[in-house]
Structure 1
Amino acid sequence: MSFGSPNNPYGQPQDPQQGYGYPQQPGYPQAPQGVPPQQGYGYPQAPQGGYPGYPQQPGYGMQPTYANWGQRFLARLLDSLLYAVPYGIAVAGAKNAPILAIIGFLALIGLFVWQIIMEGKTGQTVGKKALGIRTLKEETGQPLGGGMAFVRQLAHILDGLPCYLGYLWPAWDAKRQTFADKVCGSIVIRSN
């Protein structure tokens, strides 16, 4: 059966301007008076402000609220105090009990790896979580991922090189970024 055959159930065009068996109409038919308009087909539209329980991420129409220098400093201070415990165990055990030094050193490495993984997955270390801030990719508004979180920690060397100027840079930068943030394309925002 071909398109032009008389047995074709779909018909054939009688007039090329009219279309394939459908009468040409100047516009869509209007609903009768008093009938509410019907919602179109397709995916439902998100309610104003997004769906409840799912916070709007930066990069999707919202301007992020950048964490200020004080919040970033306090988060770093809390993380440093957390590292001080296994470091103190390692130093105290170095003279008297070498097994304590090994335990402290392994705990220090384990804590560093755990902090990197958490920052990569959620954007928050223990200090950042306590202060309600998180590190995200500037381009997508998503957490960095473990590899980029590690690279960002390595890039903090750049913040310390010119007399620690990179650590002070968020105090006056428009996006509150350190040099490491600029290199890695990350931002630190307030999460609550």
Structure 2
Amino acid sequence: MAPGAPAPLAEWWQRLLARLLDALILAIPTFIITFALSGLAVAPSINFETGEIDTGDTFLYTLLTTVIAAVIYLAYELFMLKQNGQTVGKMALGIKVVQVGSHSTAGGLPMDAAAKRAGVFYGPQLVRWIPFVGWIVGLFSLVNVLWQFWDRPLQQCLHDKAASTVVVKVK
């Protein structure tokens, strides 16, 4: 057990599988909303006088779907961590987010810690629609999650560091 953690730290693969499960769960409402938006924002239309086909506004579609998806993921993470310190994926894998130095795994995170953690993890996705910035956001997201592999002794990702949290095993 690492100093500052009330239980043994979660394994990297547990964290990854929990994220993948959460992504599958969140893909459903995200897909439904983006599918509906595609019909509104990118609906092709035919100009019968000229015979030209207008393919719609793909920029607006990209902007809306990116921002809406980021808000869905941010809200889910924030609400679940504040309530119990666990998302559905974390519950299924028996892991939980707790504050560094906490001596208990009971309850959820304080609102400020949950907001910092969710904000650093999903917040950058809000600007991913900007062409060059999207590439930087992708690189930041990769470094963020890989940080746990060289961070010692708490194996924190950057979003954990921002919120002073660790992910521990509860099962």
Amino-acid identity (%) = 32
Asked if 1:132 is matched to 2:94, the reply is: yes
Question: What's the offset of the Cα at 1:139?
Answer: 2.1
C-alpha change, 1:153 and 1:132, in structure 2 (3 Å) is same
Asked if 1:144 is matched to 2:106, the reply is: no
Distance 1:116 1:109 in 2: 10
The root-mean-square deviation of aligned C-alpha atoms, in Å, is: 3.4
Aligned equivalent of 1:116: 78
Q: 1:123, 1:136 within 8 Å by CA — same for their partners in 2?
A: yes
Secondary structure, in 3 states, of the residue corresponding to 1:148? helix
Taking CA–CA contacts closer than 8 Å with sequence separation of 6 or more, which of the two structures ends up with the larger relative contact order?
2
Distance 1:65 1:120 in 2: 21
Aligned equivalent of 1:65: 8
Q: Which has the larger radius of gyration?
A: 1
Distance 2:91 2:118 in 1: 17
Question: What's the offset of the Cα at 1:120?
Answer: 1.3
Question: What's the offset of the Cα at 1:90?
Answer: 1.2
Q: 1:159, 1:180 within 8 Å by CA — same for their partners in 2?
A: no
Distance 2:149 2:162 in 1: 18
Q: Point out where structure 2 has 5 or more consecutive residues left out of the alignment.
A: 42-66, 125-135
C-alpha change, 1:145 and 1:63, in structure 2 (3 Å) is closer
Q: Point out where structure 1 has 5 or more consecutive residues left out of the alignment.
A: 1-57, 99-104
Question: What's the offset of the Cα at 1:159?
Answer: 8.9
2:36 to 83, 93, 99: 93
Secondary structure, in 3 states, of the residue corresponding to 1:189? strand
Secondary structure, in 3 states, of the residue corresponding to 2:30? helix
Deviations 1:36-80 (A, max 9, x none): xxxxxxxxxxxxxxxxxxxxxx96xx8520011111111111111
Q: 1:152, 1:180 within 8 Å by CA — same for their partners in 2?
A: yes
Secondary structure, in 3 states, of the residue corresponding to 2:19? helix
Aligned equivalent of 1:171: 149
Q: 2:18, 2:89 within 8 Å by CA — same for their partners in 1?
A: yes
The number of residues matched between the two structures is 129
Runs of 4+ in structure 1 off by over 3 angstroms are: 95-98, 105-112, 157-163
Q: 2:74, 2:119 within 8 Å by CA — same for their partners in 1?
A: no
User: 1:1-192, aligned counterparts within 5 Å?
Assistant: 64-96=7-39, 112-141=74-103, 143-156=108-121, 157=124, 161-162=139-140, 164-173=142-151, 174-192=153-171
Q: 1:86, 1:108 within 8 Å by CA — same for their partners in 2?
A: no
